Structure 1
Amino acid sequence: MAHDLPPAIAAYVAANARLDAEGMLAAFAPRAVVLDDGGRHEGREEIKAWIRRATLDSRAVFSPKAWRDEDGRIVADGLTTSDFSGSPIRFTFRFRLEGGAIAALEIA
């Protein structure tokens, strides 16, 4: 499924599957914003810290099952498996792309 996502999102998903923080970070634009679990993470340093805390610490891997273009955003639905209680959990990732990179990501 990830192979037909836009390239920056496919790269993010592939790096996430490998738990590769640098690969995940590389998919983001320098001034990107991530909204997750009530927090706002802006810019590479904050996003890098978020990746470590939200993904690597719990070994969280998002596997998109379906995606669609919705008002200029790519909306991907799927399961996240991890070491946290209740895994797997269904999440929706909303991506906004600019210049071939992820400019914004909202996770719900």
Structure 2
Amino acid sequence: MNLPKVVTDLIKSQNEFDAVTYASLFSETAVVFDEGKTHTGRPEIEQWIDHSNKNYQSKMEPLEYTENGTASILTAECSGTFPGSPIVLKFHFEIVDGQIQQLKVTD
């Protein structure tokens, strides 16, 4: 599977529970939508993923990747300490100039 570097780095930082590196892959004004909540900007994104890492210890295994211009979708199996693990989630990205501008996580 041919993934952009920013997506490969996101998966690596997620699987290493590295919230600082994870957040650094987003633009300063990026927005994340997950579990009905919105997180705006790197500081909020770092807090969100750090909290998620501590609570769920989720790891990602990429299954499929599609791309259309700046929009792309990563389908990944996510496993961790959350109910129903493992599950397959879709990560809808908007990537501009090698940085994530927007991420929406859906099932």
Compute the TM-score of the two structures, normalised by the length of structure 1. Answer: 0.90
Provide, for residues 22-53 of structure 1, a one-character-per-residue CA deviation record: whole Å limited to 9, x for no partner: 11111111111000011000001110111012
Q: Which amino acid aligns with 2:16?
A: R
1:44 is paired with a residue whose SS is helix
Q: Quote the RMSD (CA, aligned, Å).
A: 1.3
Ranges of 4+ aligned residues in structure 1 off by more than 6 Å: none
AA partner of residue 105 (structure 2): I
Moved more, 96-105 or 64-73: 64-73
Residue in structure 2 matching 1:15, options 13, 16, 24: 13
Q: Give yes or no for contact 2:24–2:42 (8 Å, CA) kept in 1.
A: no
| Alignment of 1:57 onto 2:55 | yes
Aligned pair count reads 106
Q: How is 1:28-107 mapped onto 2 (pairs within 5 angstroms)?
A: 28-70=26-68, 72-107=70-105
Structure 2 unaligned regions, length at least 5:
none
Counterparts of 1:71 and 1:102, CA distance in 2: 13
Residue identity (%): 27
Deviates more, 1:12-21 or 1:63-72: 63-72
TM-score, normalized by length of structure 2?
Answer: 0.91
SS at the partner of 1:76?
Answer: strand
SS in 1 for 2:6: helix
Q: Would you say the 8 A contact 1:55–1:61 is kept in 2?
A: no
**How many Å apart are 1:71 and its aligned residue?**
5.6
